[in-house]
């Protein structure tokens, strides 16, 4: 009799031990004192955990630029904005990577403007696109070239989304080179 009881006890212990381990893998493990692991306060760069629609979001402080985003371009897409950029803006790059500048120009601009910047790109010579000027015939500056890349001009579309800020300035330098040679 004693042996039977002992066996039952052993069985019960085993069953408890086994079933207690048989928790679904999908369910989270028990977590004691979750506040130890999951902060209830604000994460430095996190979203507001208590955000509800209508509540004021934590927007970046005025005059700051969030990490990884581009420097804002403040000139407007108007003739006045063009003139202002033309006189004020200077190429901020201190190092021009001539090879990369040329290859970016070849990819994005040469089809219209031609490899020499004379307005004789493939699209021009095949008469798919008309009115493309030679850079030499235009009074252009660093700023005006950058502005035109940002917003386009008349028949030329904006190329802002194809090039990063740094790449645009590389291309600006290359256009200046074509204009002056
Ligand atoms: C689809 C054809 C096309 C492509 C591609 C193109 N352009 Fe143009 N571009 C034009 C035309 C057309 C004009 C003339 C716009 C006008 O003044 O009416 C022009 C004008 C310009 C001017 C002179 C603007 C001024 O202020 O007088 C510059 C500088 C210029 N483009 C630079 C570029 C650069 C840099 C790229 C490449 C990132 C590029 N373009 C790509 C068609 C193109």
Convert the pLDDT of each residue in 93-149 to its tens digit: 999 999 999 999 999 999 999 999 999 999 999 999 889 999 999 999 999 999 999
pLDDT at position 23 is 60
Tokens of 102: 């040329």
pLDDT at position 49 is 64
- pLDDT of 18 over the 80 cut: no
Q: Which residue has the tokens 């089809």?
A: 111
Cα-based distances in Å from 32 to 5, 27, 37, 69: 36, 15, 9, 40
- pLDDT of 40 over the 70 cut: no
Distance of CA 69 to the CA centre of its chain: 6
d(CA 48, CA 40): 10
Ligand 1 mean position, distance from CA 33 (Å): 63
pLDDT at position 37 is 78
**Tens-digit pLDDT profile for residues 50-75:** 666 666 666 677 788 877 777 889 99
Nearest CA residue ID for atom 7, ligand 1: 156
d(CA 86, CA 180): 17
Ligand 1 mean position, distance from CA 86 (Å): 15
* pLDDT-derived band at 41, boundaries 50, 70, 90: low
Query: CB under 6 Å to ligand 1: residues?
Result: 108-109, 111-113, 123, 129, 131-133, 138, 140, 144-145, 148-149, 153-156, 159, 171, 175
Assess contact for 88 and 82: CB atoms under 8 A.
no
d(CA 19, CA 96): 68
Mean pLDDT of all residues in 18-25: 64
pLDDT at position 144 is 97
**Tens-digit pLDDT profile for residues 70-105:** 788 999 999 999 999 999 999 999 999 999 999 999
pLDDT at position 38 is 76
């Amino acid at each position: 009799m004693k042996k039977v009881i002992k066996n039952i006890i052993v069985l019960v212990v085993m069953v408890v031990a086994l079933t207690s381990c048989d928790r679904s893998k999908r369910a989270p493990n028990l977590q004691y004192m979750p506040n130890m692991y999951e902060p209830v306060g604000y994460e430095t760069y996190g979203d507001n955990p208590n955000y509800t629609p209508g509540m004021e979001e934590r927007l970046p402080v005025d005059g700051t630029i969030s990490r990884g985003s581009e420097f804002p371009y403040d000139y407007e897409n108007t003739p006045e904005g063009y003139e202002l950029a033309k006189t004020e803006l200077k190429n901020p790059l201190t190092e021009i990577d001539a090879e990369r500048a040329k290859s970016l120009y070849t990819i994005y601009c040469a089809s219209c403007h031609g490899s020499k910047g004379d307005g004789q790109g493939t699209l021009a010579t095949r008469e798919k696109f008309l009115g493309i000027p030679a850079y030499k015939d235009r009074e252009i500056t660093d700023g005006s070239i950058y502005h035109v890349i940002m917003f386009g001009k008349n028949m030329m579309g904006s190329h802002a989304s194809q090039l990063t800020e740094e790449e645009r300035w590389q291309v600006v330098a290359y256009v200046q080179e074509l204009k002056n040679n």
